Structure 1
Amino acid sequence: MATTFHKMHGLGNDFVIFDAREADVPLDAARVRLLADRHRGIGCDQLIRLSPSDKADLLMDIWNADGGEAEACGNAARCVAALTGAKTIDSAGGLLEAEAGDDSVSITLPPPRFQWDEIPIADPMDTAPVPMAWDVLEGADAVNVGNPHLVFFVDDADAVALGEIGPQIEHDPAFPERINVNVAEVRDGRLKLRTFERGAGLTEACGTGACASAVAAIRRKLLASPVAVDMPGGSLTIHWAPGDPIVMQGAATHVFTGEVDLEALR
């Protein structure tokens, strides 16, 4: 039996979205890995399932390409809002507010968290900066924006071998829920960003990574809100003041609608 899906992306960070608000779409880690496979499945960084919610217009469940579940995904939230017109989105990372315009979507995320046990980190320690180092990367800010992030400020974001260092940091025992890794460069009053996403690897863009990095830059007084964040796939604008929610604004693109036989996946 064929199940309808939507392929969408936010600045190249791509998703397979199933709308299960009227009929269940059964998913597990193994099936997600098959669907996310770019050679044997549909291909995506994350897979999204929409379900009914008693707290919001809908519930957004998120799986990374490796089959692991994620709490938050800013780019996916923008795509879901553009696809469905939802004004409120429930997620494991908190309740999100959405506003879709003609060319962009704004998502309001809960206020960021900074305490070691809110990231979480296995042992008590400072989080701005974290007193740990991996190869050339040290002195990161730890920020939870619905999911956990480390933000390293560097002189040249392109020069960091993030594809090699990222997995080491993601799986470090210091981070019991693993962690997303960002390298950020302040350039011409903007933030240049590359992200290694937990469970997905290097991606064209990361909405929550942009939020975490902008928050860290504002806290360090490197930049003032709003912060323009440039990633390989495009740019986002992040608004934040201490104690307030985070507002992220950027594009969301519908690529195509298709059907897949979930039972035929092998």
Structure 2
Amino acid sequence: MTRPFLKMNGLGNDFVVVEARSAPFAPTAAEVRAIADRASGVGCDQLISVGPAEDADAFVRFWNADGEEVSACGNGSRCVGWLLMQSSGKDEIVIETKAGRLLATRAGERLVSVDMGPPGLDWSQIPLAQAQDTRALDVGLYDHPALSLAPGCVSMGNPHVVFFVSDIETAPIAEAGPVIERHPLFPEHVNVGFAQVKDRGRIRLRVWERGAGLTKACGTGACAAMVAAARRDLIDRAATLELDGGELFIEWREDGHVIMTGPAAVDFAGELK
């Protein structure tokens, strides 16, 4: 038996998207890793299934390349939103995820805005292993001069820690990322953002994603970095995030919701064995 899929990407953050509304799709961790393997499988940062939902257009599940299922994926949600709008002709789509309901709207040619909901800012929402002020953690996570400023923590349906650095090019991302990802402070592991604030409306960001490593873009990471910077009054409540794969526009509205706008693209179609 084979199952059709679409290979999609949001700013180079790439996904294998499987239609699961007509037949259930429940891959094992080993199967996810096989699909995500760039040498012997299709290759992707995350695997996504689009299944049926009672009160939404689809119920969407996400798995990282290491086989672990996660609750949220910003770029993936944007790609699925675009896909569902294209197939239905709608300009607005409701997506149900394990992290809650997301609203995706058409924002232009291949551009999609996703209401990611309000961020989780309490230490228990990240979650952390102990009480902390998530605006600026009072605990050492990695000893390096470039990471001397206390990082902030934000949940966007998944856990993020954000370091503010003076020069993104010299930040020890590949060395520090995997260590911090599995630090005991984060019982569910954590996505690690490295943010260079350029001005009140622009941030250069790179993200070490838990279970995927350094990716070209991370949608929830961009949202988390923007919120973390705004909480420290480093930027205003709307900013452009420069990622390796391109730009996202993030707004933290006065009602508390975070809106992410960016492109979605289809690379090719195929079939899984």
Deviation at residue 243 of structure 1 after TM alignment: 4.7
Secondary structure at 2:121 match in 1? coil
Once the two structures are superposed, what CA deviation does each residue of 1:168-210 show, in whole Å capped at 9, x if it has no partner? Answer: 1111111111000001001144100000001100000000000
Counterpart of 1:78 in structure 2 is: 78
Q: 1:117 aligns with which of 114, 124, 141?
A: 124
Aligned-pair identity (%): 47
Counterpart of 2:89 in structure 1 is: none
Q: 1:162 aligns with which of 150, 164, 173?
A: 173
How do 1:1-266 residues align onto structure 2 when only pairs under 5 Å count?
1-85=1-85, 87-100=93-106, 101-133=108-140, 134-136=142-144, 137-138=147-148, 139-188=150-199, 189-241=201-253, 243-261=255-273
Gaps of at least 5 residues in structure 2 are: 86-91
Q: Within 1, Cα distance between the matches of 2:119 and 2:49?
A: 25
Q: Within 2, Cα distance between the matches of 1:194 and 1:135?
A: 19
Q: Within 2, Cα distance between the matches of 1:6 and 1:103?
A: 16
Secondary structure at 1:21 match in 2? coil
Count matched residues.
261
Q: Within 2, Cα distance between the matches of 1:19 and 1:145?
A: 25
Letter in 2 for 1:88: V
Deviation at residue 55 of structure 1 after TM alignment: 2.9
- Superposition misfits of 4+ residues, deviation over 3 angstroms: none
Q: Within 1, Cα distance between the matches of 2:176 and 2:270?
A: 36
RMSD over aligned Cα atoms: 1.2
Q: Within 2, Cα distance between the matches of 1:6 and 1:166?
A: 30
Secondary structure at 1:87 match in 2? strand
Once the two structures are superposed, what CA deviation does each residue of 1:199-242 show, in whole Å capped at 9, x if it has no partner? Answer: 10000000000000011111111111321000000000001135
Please, what TM-score do these two structures have when normalized by structure 2?
A: 0.93
The answer on whether the counterparts of 2:129 and 2:186 sit within 8 Å (CA) in structure 1 is yes
Gaps of at least 5 residues in structure 1 are: 262-266
Letter in 2 for 1:59: F
29-38 vs 87-96, which moves further: 87-96
Counterpart of 1:264 in structure 2 is: none
Q: Within 2, Cα distance between the matches of 1:130 and 1:56?
A: 37
Secondary structure at 2:50 match in 1? strand
244-253 vs 83-92, which moves further: 83-92
